Amino acid sequence: GENVEQHPSTLSVQEGDSAVIKCTYSDSASNYFPWYKQELGKRPQLIIDIRSNVGEKKDQRIAVTLNKTAKHFSLHITETQPEDSAVYFCAASLEGSARQLTFGSGTQLTVLP
Amino acid sequence: GAGVSQSPSNKVTEKGKDVELRCDPISGHTALYWYRQSLGQGLEFLIYFQGNSAPDKSGLPSDRFSAERTGGSVSTLTIQRTQQEDSAVYLCASSLVARGVHEQYFGPGTRLTVT
């Protein structure tokens, strides 16, 4: 089955700096890679996703890159703000199969004012 | 429209008792998933239902755990003879499985505490 590893487990940055979170996956058939943000005490919410037919996707201050050859994808947050502080989870799946998402272990991001 | 709802929001039970957790998915969503999140940990897959197909139970940690989905909508996760290590937040998610659409929408979770 799929195995997703996520690094780092914790990340602290100064407000305005960039943050990068990295994930690797094991199943080369996986083609859908979402990122979820979970604020303290709240449910995970999708913030961005990427499919294997593209190498990069951007939405305002958030971008995700995918390297299928290396089975590696990353989340980039620029100009970080205190409200970006949360736990971020990457995941991998085979789209269209309704296969469950395999999640990484999460990264606790803290943006220091 | 309403999102995914779960009940109860919190459940405290004594070791050895059975508990039932309920999930109401978004109307029309064909796939329903259960995950477990221990304190400070990631999301552990438990089980998923897709339409009328047999559920994928590969994530259930023991035979004390079971789930059903009635009428393709509401789902109930049952934990028998609860143990302290069952304490966690149980999250339900649903998705509309169609071409190009796969986002999972999560419910608020049920925080289970086994004393």
**Helix-strand-coil split of chain A, %, nearest 5:** 5, 55, 40
pLDDT score, position B101: 57
- Residues of B in Cβ contact (< 8 Å) with A104: 42
Q: Do A42 and B97 count as a contact with CB atoms less than 8 A apart? A: no
For residue A1, the chain B residues in CB contact (below 8 A) are: 58
The mean per-residue pLDDT over the stretch B41-68 comes to: 90
Which chain B residues contact residue A98 at CB under 8 A?
30-31, 48, 50, 95, 97
Cα angle B18-B24-B26, degrees, rounded to a multiple of 5: 155
Q: Are B8 and B19 contacting, i.e. CB atoms less than 8 angstroms apart?
A: no
Closest CA to B38 of B82, B90, B80: B90
Residue B53 confidence (pLDDT): 84
Instruction: State whether B106 and A104 contact (CB < 8 Å).
Output: no
Specify whether the backbone of B58 is left (phi greater than 0), alpha (psi in -120 to 50) or beta: alpha
pLDDT digits (tens, 9 = 90+) for B77-106: 999 999 999 999 999 999 887 655 578 899
Nearest to A100 among B48, B99, B105 (CB): B48
pLDDT confidence tier of residue B8, bands split at 50, 70 and 90 = very high
Q: Distance (Å) from the C-alpha of residue A112 to the closest C-alpha of chain B?
A: 20
**Cis peptide upstream of residue B8 (ω within 30 degrees of 0):** yes
Within 8 A by CB and 6+ apart from A3, the residues are A25, A26, A27, A102
Q: What is the average per-residue pLDDT within A1-19?
A: 95
Is the predicted pLDDT of residue A5 greater than 80, yes or no? yes
- C-alpha–C-alpha distance, residues B63 and B78, integer Å: 10
Read off the pLDDT of each residue in A17-45 and give the average, rounded to a whole number. 94
The pLDDT-based confidence of B2 (bands split at 50, 70, 90) is confident
* Residues β-bridged to residue A75: A21, A64
Q: Is the pLDDT of residue A11 over 90?
A: yes
pLDDT band at A41 (very low <50, low <70, confident <90, very high): confident
Q: What is the pLDDT of residues A59-100, one digit of tens each?
A: 999 999 999 999 999 999 999 999 999 999 999 987 666 567
pLDDT, greater one: B82 or B71? B82
